[in-house]
Amino acid sequence: MTENEKPWQWPEKTWRGYAEAVRAGRRLTPENWPGEARAAVLLSFDSDHETLGLHNANTSPGQLSQGEYGARAGVPRILELLAGYGFPASFFVPAVSALLHPQEIRDYVDAGHEVGVHGWIHERNTLLDKETETELLVRARDVLGELSGTAPAGIRTPSWDFSSTTLETIRELGFVYDSSLMADDDPYEILANGEPTGIVEIPVDWIRDDAPYFMMAPGAGSRAYIRPRDVLEMWIDEFDAAYRAGGVFQLTMHPHIIGHRSRLVVLRELLDHIRSHPDVWAATHAQLAELVATGPPVR
């Protein structure tokens, strides 16, 4: 492929190589959920905090204070809410966020939640070479492992994307699962150039993420444009469909976004709706990955 070659000029080997480099393999939804549950619910929070600005070298106090809100106001409210419902959650944390707020990591663990890797400083991993990406993930893994007392089982890349070497790197570092890709609603095994990797993918999607609906970053042209209760309706529909299918309802949120008072009302009403279904298995991402990797037969 030449530098000036356009995608429509690519030979089949080229476009097929890109499409098949990282792909969804076998489905991993189990035939039966623990406790004879009908569906699984996985709540997650990306605790980006100040790295929202720092990863772009934006050191504006205004930008950093927006991230600090997540740690100062959002996280305590979220932990209190989760405790009231008895729901576990997975918190994906950039290492710099963890170093700025080390007690927060211990609070997650003490409350029975999972801590997963979310990069070093929320860097754009797709712009990094393999050596740099590996170094940052090793440092992030080690910081979170030291602060939480447990080596992280999973990773969510800061950009919800893979570089050309991310999959190779997370395999080398021994992560059990990833939660960055979007090829399904339910878990699957990641393939590398058609070969099974043994890594569980717990897919995300922008539909089930609070940022597209609520993020406010005027300088970047991002403004909230939808009522929280409209988002609640969508998320309830997503849960109801997963429940009918016997699958997974996975949700991604951010403490500095969902942690505002009017938006926590929406999360509380969503959890009320979920809890009205007694046959639901609420789990961390690591618990689901362990179940589908080593547990009962899959569909």
Query: Are the beta carbons of 47 and 78 closer than 8 angstroms?
Result: no
Q: Tell me what pLDDT residue 223 has.
A: 66
pLDDT single digits (tens) 68-123: 999 999 999 999 999 999 999 999 999 999 999 999 999 999 999 999 999 999 99
Q: Tell me what pLDDT residue 217 has.
A: 67
pLDDT single digits (tens) 241-287: 999 999 999 999 999 999 999 999 999 999 999 999 989 999 999 99
pLDDT at 1 exceeding the cut of 70: no
Q: Tell me what pLDDT residue 219 has.
A: 58
* pLDDT band per the 50, 70, 90 thresholds, residue 293: confident
The one-letter code for the residue type at 79 is L
**Percentage, residues of the chain above pLDDT 70:** 95
Q: What does pTM read for this prediction?
A: 0.95
Q: Tell me what pLDDT residue 229 has.
A: 93
Q: Tell me what pLDDT residue 294 has.
A: 73
Distances (CA, A) of 22 to 8, 19, 155, 184, 192: 21, 7, 16, 13, 5
Rounded CA separation 97/100 (Å): 5
pLDDT at 131 exceeding the cut of 70: yes
pLDDT, mean of residues 27-34: 94
Rounded CA separation 37/279 (Å): 4
pLDDT, mean of residues 172-184: 98
Q: How many CB atoms lie within 10 A of CB 206?
A: 11
Least confident of 56-60, 145-149, 163-167, 169-173: 56-60
Task: Of 25, 23, 33, 24, give the one whose Cα is nearest residue 242.
Answer: 33
Burial status of residue 113 (CB atoms within 10 A of its CB: 0-12, 13-18, 19 or more) = buried
Q: Tell me what pLDDT residue 216 has.
A: 74
Q: Tell me what pLDDT residue 222 has.
A: 61
pLDDT single digits (tens) 218-238: 555 566 678 899 999 999 999
Mean pLDDT taken over the chain:
94
pLDDT at 164 exceeding the cut of 60: yes
Q: How many CB atoms lie within 10 A of CB 118?
A: 28
- Sketch out the chain's domains with CATH numbers: 38-294 (3.20.20.370)
**Percentage, residues of the chain above pLDDT 90:** 87
